Chain A
């Protein structure tokens, strides 16, 4: 069974990416997983300057998920290019660089330098970061800022550009349209959902950073809806992500409109889950007499009954 998919010019043998920040540089998981069975690894985000990251605790377990606030700890692009990137050539799957920043220029600068390396097959823009120039507003939460960041990165590379959208917005479809118009080749939907947890024994927030990003099965329905909405708004492919643990979860995302999926938090429970999902997809497509992932993508996406009924769903 051919499970290959394309995200712009990026060809993946399997539709399974490992989520940024969950899989380190790939080296950490190499003793545990046969990486030939992975579609690709989205690397941990890198920034212009080195970052120490957030104070601990950086992780909190929550019902059906977890909160994290790592704070983009990374060595900075100079050190990264000099010491880390060459090692990526050894991995038997596609390596996708992840770029984060705090200004439009940061994204352009880091994208240009990282995308120039042969070891990197594509770039994911992690735009869920605060923009220093506009009082810390998150790039991904503002259509114009999203457009500017994506345009700036687009002008620096011809390699496939995946833009990771935040669910912490009112209209994710509108942001998706801006990213597409600005030159994105694909959209990763969704990043983590903002959240917090308070220790009632100490009356203190549990995370050192106070707030964090919620991931895991707890956010899956939020993510499925976001993929569904984005798929109606854009023509470029979508990488669906948010709490995928099983083949059934993966199918939901494809049916909602995803071309590929990304697995993050589930690797923490069992690093073989991505391989099992590929096996499950082969079996499923065979049983159903289908030929490819494209036979699933968006097949449940028939719009909303009517806007008034949709509003009422929340009640």
Chain B
């Protein structure tokens, strides 16, 4: 996740399409050619709906092609409820792209992409980038139930092998997606994961167990999204290339620093996290 120049800007976008993929799961496509040109896989945006309390919500960039980018989200609170009200032709303020994305510069040939629930929203672009780089990509995709395994056909159509798990066994294996990964005989040489924190911690443990490095896209409540407020930190090894460049408290003498998920992340090497 090398820190590169920021091309972030505030974009006044227009919603092109709105699809309810499942009850409470919304895909919003919007017109943002400048954003598309500079987006790297794994980056995110802050989206502000035109009405309501107008709070900014951090969302992974799901698709970015030609003149259209999209976000995919589950309605789970006041901010996403407001976003879900935005219709085709309406305006959506989008700040981005923000953060550092996944690092595919290592030349991995066999990539495991692990997504839990809405985590699917941040992994389509890195999956496609890995495929474009000539890697074999297998998507391990978990959700509570079949209807929430949205967009899996899109990953298959892009060329991913798709393995699913559901909590209730309604589709694929019953259980957690990380258990699928733990049992695999097709050991990848790189893991890219996005999902709820418990899933990411499990992915971290599996990665360590099978001896494969993993990049995790983390989530935390953001206020600014650009590194200005220090609200979204995660403990990180001070030796990490992503550690913010200042020493921690001298009294503690600790080798851990707090890194901003929005600025230094949101993607971190799992073996450098101290969470």
Instruction: Identify which of B47-55, B111-119, B120-128, B162-170 touches chain A.
Output: B47-55
Query: What total of chain B residues lie within 8 Å of the partner, measured CB to CB?
Result: 42
* Chain B 168-195 per-residue mask, 1 if CB under 8 angstroms from chain A, else 0: 0000000000000000000000000000
Query: What total of chain A residues lie within 8 Å of the partner, measured CB to CB?
Result: 36
Instruction: Identify which of A44-52, A121-129, A147-155, A250-258 touches chain B.
Output: A44-52
CB distance from B51 to the nearest CB of A (A): 13
Residues of A within 8 A of B23 (CB): none
State whether the Cβ of A230 lies closer than 8 Å to any Cβ in chain B.
no
Residues of A within 8 A of B254 (CB): 52
Instruction: Identify which of B65-73, B134-142, B148-156, B222-230 touches chain A.
Output: B222-230
Q: Are B10 and A270 in contact (CB under 8 A)?
A: yes
State whether the Cβ of A162 lies closer than 8 Å to any Cβ in chain B.
no
Q: Are B232 and A32 in contact (CB under 8 A)?
A: no
Q: Identify which of A32, A70, A79, A270 contacts B230 (C-beta below 8 A).
A: A70
- Report the number of A-B residue pairs with Cβ-Cβ less than 8 Å: 113
Q: Identify which of B10, B77, B223, B233 contacts A53 (C-beta below 8 A).
A: B233
Q: Identify which of B93, B95, B229, B246 contacts A75 (C-beta below 8 A).
A: B246
Chain A, 40-97, CB within 8 A of any chain B CB: 44, 49-53, 56-61, 64, 66, 68, 70, 73, 75-76, 79, 83
A-B contact pairs, 28 of them (CB 8 A): A22-B223, A23-B228, A24-B224, A24-B229, A28-B227, A28-B228, A28-B263, A29-B228, A31-B7, A32-B9, A51-B249, A52-B254, A53-B258, A57-B221, A58-B221, A61-B55, A68-B231, A76-B250, A83-B246, A267-B228, A268-B55, A268-B224, A268-B229, A269-B55, A269-B56, A270-B56, A270-B93, A272-B10
Q: Name B's A-contacting residues (CB within 8 A).
A: 6-10, 48, 53-56, 77-79, 93, 95, 220-234, 245-252, 254, 257-258, 263
Can you add 16 more A-B contacts, CB < 8 Å, to A52-B248, A76-B250? A28-B224, A28-B263, A50-B246, A51-B249, A52-B252, A56-B220, A56-B234, A57-B220, A58-B231, A61-B55, A64-B53, A75-B246, A76-B247, A83-B246, A268-B55, A270-B10
Q: Name A's B-contacting residues (CB within 8 A).
A: 21-24, 28-29, 31-32, 44, 49-53, 56-61, 64, 66, 68, 70, 73, 75-76, 79, 83, 265, 267-272
